């Protein structure tokens, strides 16, 4: 099967003007800059131009075995997203997945106005499309593996699930993750939680372990601000406030409501806000400002008995903390080995913006706050 020719087959004449990031990306992906048309100032080739060229090459149609003409991305389900360069830049800056945007330009092209008018709440509330009528391609179980294909059904992805799939794939493909794990003794934190819940019983308020972890992560980021950052193009944005995105499993898919300025809020305020946001997430009623943004994320699978896991960074953030279950283990306390409740915590860091030493420092500060938790009340 021969691949159809693309713009990259043009001969190289001279080195065209391009940004440093565009040159690096082109070299990494084996793309000739001479074959690209720049959309930057004075026709300069930008990183987005290289990414667009990579998508065209990756999606180049091929002729089928019978020599029929190749299909376009739109004919095969719209895998190629048509958008203006300005719309792409605006979407990247705002953390918007183009797959979830409906284009109003010619032939459905996404333009600047579509990004400006984008409302994630409408995307979240759109119902699942009904699966297409049964066809031979969907129900003919004998078509693959000489009749050994197991019975199955094909489920159409919702817009939310498409967005999750695309963002997580882009994150793993483009972000160099570094993972750091340490064990933290939970007993002091659990004792403090029990004491606080006893005193809050009259107010009908009950703190969860996750509430205390949100506060601990926010204070750790406050003490290690080099980890409270995001990487964008050729710059690093350092945040003065700790806005913690918390992973919540909703019927439509994973979503991350945000506790803003968590480092400055009391534990009771964090608990009340988190309960409200989690309920709205499960009901599909979160407003855009309640889940867009955030400077770092927390994902907790301890309630499912998971011991340890590595979470995928939520771009444009540069770190996410993954915590597992607290379980009884032999643990060194002082100079002795004792039975203690221990939790494994893993930080995933964007190595473009956060060095390993800074990530290690953040986890060390976090452990100190959890093992000596009175600082969470200050």
Active site residues: 351
For the chain, how big is the Rg over CA atoms in Å? 25
- The number of angstroms, rounded, from the C-alpha of 94 to the middle of its chain's C-alpha atoms is 13
Cα 227 from Cα 225, distance rounded (Å): 5
Which of 290, 292, 289 minimizes the C-alpha distance to 281?
290
Cα distances (Å, whole numbers) of residue 297 to 85, 182, 358: 29, 17, 17
Q: H/E/C letters for each residue in the chain?
A: CCECCCHHHCCCCCCCCECHHHHHHHHHHCCCHHHCCCCCHHHCECHHHHHHHHHHHHCCCECCCCCCCCCCCCCCCCCCCCECHHHHHHHHHHCCCHHHCCCCCHHHCECHHHHHCCCHHHHHHCCCCCCCCCCHHHHCHHHCCCCCCCCCCCCCCCHHHHHHHHHHHHHHHHCCEEEEEEEEECHHHHHHHHHHHHHHHHHCCCCCHHHHHHHHHHHHHHHCHHHCEEEECCEEEECCCCCEEECEEECCEEECCEECCHHHCCHHHHHHHHHHHHHHHHCCCCCHHHCCCCCEEEEECHHHCCCCCCCCCCCCECEEEEECCCEEEEEEECCEEEEEEEEEEEEEEECCCCCHHHHHHHHHHHHHHHHCHHHHHC
Cα 293 from Cα 39, distance rounded (Å): 28
Which of 208, 207, 227 minimizes the C-alpha distance to 217?
227
Q: Could you give the angle at the alpha carbon of 242 between the alpha carbons of 238 and 244, nearest 5°?
A: 120
């Amino acid at each position: 099967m021969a691949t159809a020719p693309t713009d990259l087959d043009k001969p190289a004449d001279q080195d065209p003007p391009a940004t440093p990031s565009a040159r690096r990306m082109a070299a990494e992906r084996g793309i000739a800059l001479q074959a690209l048309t720049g959309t930057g100032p004075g026709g300069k080739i930008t990183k987005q131009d290289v990414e667009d060229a990579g998508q065209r090459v990756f999606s180049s149609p091929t002729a089928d075995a019978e020599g029929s003409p190749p299909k376009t991305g739109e004919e095969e389900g719209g895998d190629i997203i048509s958008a203006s360069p300005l719309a792409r830049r605006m979407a990247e800056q705002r953390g918007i997945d183009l797959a979830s945007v409906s284009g109003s330009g010619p032939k459905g092209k996404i333009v600047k106005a579509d990004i400006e008018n984008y409302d994630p709440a409408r995307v979240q509330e759109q119902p699942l499309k009904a699966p297409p009528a049964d066809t031979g391609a969907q129900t003919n179980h004998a078509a693959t593996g000489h009749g050994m294909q197991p019975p199955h059904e094909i489920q159409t992805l919702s817009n939310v699930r498409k967005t999750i799939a695309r963002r997580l794939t882009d994150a793993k493909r483009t972000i160099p993750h570094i993972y750091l794990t340490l064990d933290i003794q939970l007993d002091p934190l659990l004792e403090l939680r029990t004491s606080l819940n006893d005193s809050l019983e009259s107010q009908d308020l009950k703190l969860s372990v996750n509430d205390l972890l949100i506060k601990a992560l926010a204070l750790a980021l406050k003490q290690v601000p080099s980890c409270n950052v995001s990487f964008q193009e050729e710059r690093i944005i350092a945040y003065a406030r700790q806005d913690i995105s918390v992973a919540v499993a909703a019927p439509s898919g994973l979503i991350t409501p945000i506790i803003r300025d968590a480092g400055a809020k009391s534990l009771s305020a964090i608990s009340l806000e988190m309960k409200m946001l989690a309920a709205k997430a499960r009901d599909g009623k979160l407003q855009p400002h309640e889940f867009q943004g955030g400077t770092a994320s927390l994902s907790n699978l301890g309630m499912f008995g998971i011991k340890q896991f590595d979470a995928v960074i939520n771009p444009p953030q540069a770190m996410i903390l993954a915590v597992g279950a607290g379980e009884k283990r032999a643990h060194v306390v002082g100079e002795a080995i004792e039975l203690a409740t221990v939790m494994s915590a893993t930080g995933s860091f964007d190595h473009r913006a956060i060095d390993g030493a800074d990530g290690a420092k953040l986890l060390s500060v976090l452990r100190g706050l959890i093992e000596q938790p009175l600082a969470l009340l200050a």
